Every structure is written in C-alpha cells, then in structure tokens.
Structure 1
Amino acid sequence: MKKAFPYALLTFLVSSLLFHGYSQSSPTQIKILSYNIHYGVGMDAKKDLERIAEVINRFDPDIVGLQEVSDSLMVATLSELTNMNGVFGASTEIEPPNLYRLLGIPVPTAQLFYGDGILSKFPMQFIGNLSIPSASSSRYEAMCVDVDFSSKNKKKALVRFINTHFDYLESIGSKIARKASVEVIEKAFVHDSTDMPYILTGDLNATPMSDPLQLLEKKGWINENQGKELLTVPVDIPTKQIDYVLIRPKEKWRVIDVVVIEEDRASDHRPILMTLELL
C-alpha cells in the first residue's frame, strides 16, 4: 500500500517555492550607450540623423548620452526617430558673445546652438546643465537628469545620469581644464549622502591612464572594461579610448557586458555600449 504524502510537508514545499520565486525578483537590467554623433555628420561628410538613429535603434539602449549635438531640434528629431524622451544641454551662450557684437560680425550658428543631449526610454527629471572649464575656443558642458527605471522591473529604481564632453586640446590649459571639469561635476551633481546610483557618459578627450580618469577613479567612479581595449577613435581604425560609461558606487552595480560598437560611417567616433544590473 502506498503511503500518503504528508500534507504539512507538501504545504511547506509549495510555500517555499512560491516564496523563493516572488521574494527574490531579478535585478533591474539597464543598457547605456555613449555616442559622440559629430552633429550627425558621418565619414562621408553627409549629415544623416536617420543613420545615427538606426545605430541607436539597432542596439536598443535604455538611455543614451549624446555628445556634439547641434541644437535642441537635433535632440527632438533623434527623440522622434528612436521613440525616446529627449533633453538638450546647451554649451554656448544663446545671446551673441561680446566679441561678435563689438566687431559687428554675424554670429555663426555653431556659436549659438551647441551642446550635448540625453535620450531615455524612461521618465527623467532634469536636474541641471552647466558650463565646465575650457581652454580652447569651444565651450563644453555637463548635464544631469534623474531617471526613473521603476516600470522596468516593477520596483523602485532611480538613477542619476550625467552626460558631458571635455575640452579636446593637448595644451597645458586644456589638460588643466579637463581635471577642473571633474571637480565641477562632482560639486554640482554628485551627492553620495543620497545613496543614489550614478552613471556618467561622455567624450572625455582623455585616455584611461590619463590624469582626468585617475581623478575620476579617485572620486569613486569605476571604469570597468572587463579586460578589453575599448578603442573608440579614430573611427576607421581606432587606436585609443576617449569615450566612456562610468558608474558608482561599486556595490550598486554589476557590469554584465561592455563593448565598442563596430560602426565606422555614421560619426567620427564609435559608440560604447554597457549593460548593467542595478543591485
């Protein structure tokens, strides 16, 4: 005769399985793209925002840090083409600079509208946009939003996302400006007391062993390359990395993958894609 399976034991086993399945929900996974889009102008000298959007759509990121954006209209166009929310961060004055006024010269469009942008599939709150130090004729900025990824995994997930573009020259002044930019971003947007996870994307115009990257790591930013060389420029045959996705603090994140996308036509930089788990 078969023995009856104890009802109490059966109840315990079922309850344990249900508890295990519902109490340990999977971490929120986030895909981040950092992309200097060169104003939409590709290596064939053609301006083609649809081509930039195709690159973004192909890899389906949750959030994108864009550098070298012409104006807010460009962000709006890419927002529509990618079906993502968009925000523009201006690097230059909207009013004509005094030099142009004094000389009576028409202000170049590039001086009126220039900056960076952020695209996101998820709701974001604009925190700020500010100028950062520059020793070149160009002007640079850093922008910040708080992104709510809660709907992605049905649990609270708020992330601070910073996007920037550092000075590009190899002069002493520009080298100092890049390090000073780190300090400006830290003071303006980073508040570790909030216990918030952070992501920073950008064209930092600095290699991984340079002073600005060493300073960022000293501040707590993590440059995870998974043992790979993440070479982003020149776009045809890359020899160095100047584009990044950085994270902090370490205990909030697990890096699943990070790659440079093999795209050599749409811009003069290759984009970098990182997949993360928010722990």
Structure 2
Amino acid sequence: MRVATYNIHAGVGTDGRHDIERICTVIEEIGADVLALQEVELHDAEHGAIALLSQRYYEIGSSPVFTKRGHPYGNLLLSRFPISHIRHLSLCVMGCEPRGAVDVDLDAPGGLRVIATHLGLSPGERRDQVRRLLRACKEPQVSAGLTVLLGDLNEWLMWGRPLRWLHRHFGETPGYRTFPTFYPLLALDRIWVAPRSALIASWVHSTRTARRASDHLPLVADLLLPDLTTDAAPEAAGRSSRPPSRLR
C-alpha cells in the first residue's frame, strides 16, 4: 500500500501560476492509495479539478482550518479505502494562524488509522501541537492495525523536541528534504507509521512537473499491511515508475 503527503501551496507553482490540473498530474504520477494534501482551497475538492481526480478514490476527508478568499482552506485526505470514522482535531494556538488535523479510520485489511496535519511556523506552537497529536494517538480508536501520521510538520530543527517526541512514539524515520522544490534544503514533510516495521520504503517524488507545481515536493512511502491480499486491496492506478529506496 502506498501513502503520500503533499503541500500543494493552493495550486500555485514555482512559476507563480495557479494550476490545479498540474497538481493533479503530480498526484496521478504518485499513484497513492492514501494521500494527504495541505494548503488546499477546499471548494476545489467539490467543484474543481481535484473533484474529478477524487472520483477515482472511494472517499474524501477534509479539515477546513480557516477561510481564504471567501472559501474554506485546509487539509484534504483522499483514500481508496472507505472511511469508517472521521474526527477533526483542532491544533489552534492563540495568536497564531489556525491549524488542524483530519483523523480517520479506514476499512483496510487489518485496520488503518491515518492522521493528516499541517503544523505551525513557530517552535512553541509546534511543541503544543505535537503534544496534542500524541495524546490523540494514545486514545483507543476503532482501528486496531496500523497508525499513520503524515503531513507538513514545518519542523526544520532536526533535533527539535517535536521530532524527538514523534520518533520516540513511532520510531525514527528518515527526514528527506522536500522544501523548497528548486533546491530542497528542509525536511518539512514527514511520514510516521506504527508499528515502524510496516514502513518498508520511502522517497521524495521529484519529477519535472512536481518541481514546478508547488513549493513542496511530495513525500511517498510504501507500507506493508497485515493480511493484505490482492482480493482485499482496492485496485491501485498509476503507480510511480520511480523505484523506491529501501529503508535501513
């Protein structure tokens, strides 16, 4: 099974053009079964090009965090597996831009919980938000199998407390540089999986289109679901031809 996280910068690319169709091309290149998007103008999820793309998925989960240009704006989750439960987590900190997470249980083999988020810009804000996310992760939920936490963590301090806390809970995962696209320096986008052994490969999706479509590159991971069979899994379309790097 493939998961990915992608900050689409509201569809505005590095050339300054607003082009949701280009974002959709990148998404199709990735071929993820579960995809977390950040900085999404959520009316596009209902009426724009993303709506057409999302028809290839079973369900959509969204988490608006504020209004931008008169439209809801925030996190979007696309899943080829049906969503059985959805929760919206507020990660707002007073005096800072509103933030949140969408937390879903998916009808996947063995059970799958996915939390997709986009954290704040200040260190103190991120510490508070990660504490809230970890409290949510420790609460018993319907899903009994894998838990995936992914999104734009905005954490550029490699040894900062938020990353240490997340590594302690989930197990350490590689930090691949995804921002900015023209010369990636910062590992802002992250994927964690519990149990850690289910994460079998991860990589940055860096195609010519991806380098122009947004200011972030997508981060992709392949997971091993328990008892996953060909009959149980939804048919995946458009897998990336880029060979993933094996994790050590």
Q: TM-score, normalised by structure 1?
A: 0.71
* Mapping 1:1-279, distance limit 5 Å: 30-71=1-42, 73-76=43-46, 77=48, 78-82=50-54, 83-84=56-57, 85-92=59-66, 109=69, 113-134=72-93, 137-150=96-109, 157-168=110-121, 174-191=122-139, 195-207=144-156, 208-218=158-168, 220-225=169-174, 230-250=176-196, 253-262=197-206, 263-279=210-226
Residues 161-214 of structure 1, C-alpha deviations (whole Å, 9 max, x = no match): 00000101xxxxx21110111121223344368743200111001034222111
Mark the CA change 1:190 to 1:52 in structure 2 (over 3 Å): closer, same or farther. Answer: farther
Mark the CA change 1:135 to 1:242 in structure 2 (over 3 Å): closer, same or farther. Answer: farther
Q: What RMSD, in angstroms, separates the aligned Cα atoms of the two structures?
A: 2.1
Contact 1:35 1:271 in 2 (8 A): yes
Give the partner amino acid of 1:180.
Answer: D
Following TM superposition, the consecutive aligned residue runs of length 4 or more in structure 1 with deviations greater than 3 angstroms are 133-137, 192-196
Contact 2:181 2:217 in 1 (8 A): yes
Post-superposition offset of 1:136? 5.5
Count of paired positions:
217
The SS at the match of 1:188 is helix
Write the distance in 1 (CA, Å) between the matches of 2:167 and 2:199.
Answer: 16
Contiguous gaps of at least 5 residues in structure 1: 1-29, 95-107, 151-156, 169-173
Post-superposition offset of 1:48? 1.3
Contact 1:50 1:81 in 2 (8 A): no
Contiguous gaps of at least 5 residues in structure 2: 227-248
The SS at the match of 2:224 is strand
User: Which one has a bigger Cα radius of gyration?
Assistant: 1
Q: TM-score, normalised by structure 2?
A: 0.80
Give the partner amino acid of 1:265.
Answer: R
Higher relative contact order (CA 8 A, sep 6+): 2
Contact 2:112 2:144 in 1 (8 A): no
Contact 2:61 2:102 in 1 (8 A): no
The SS at the match of 2:131 is helix
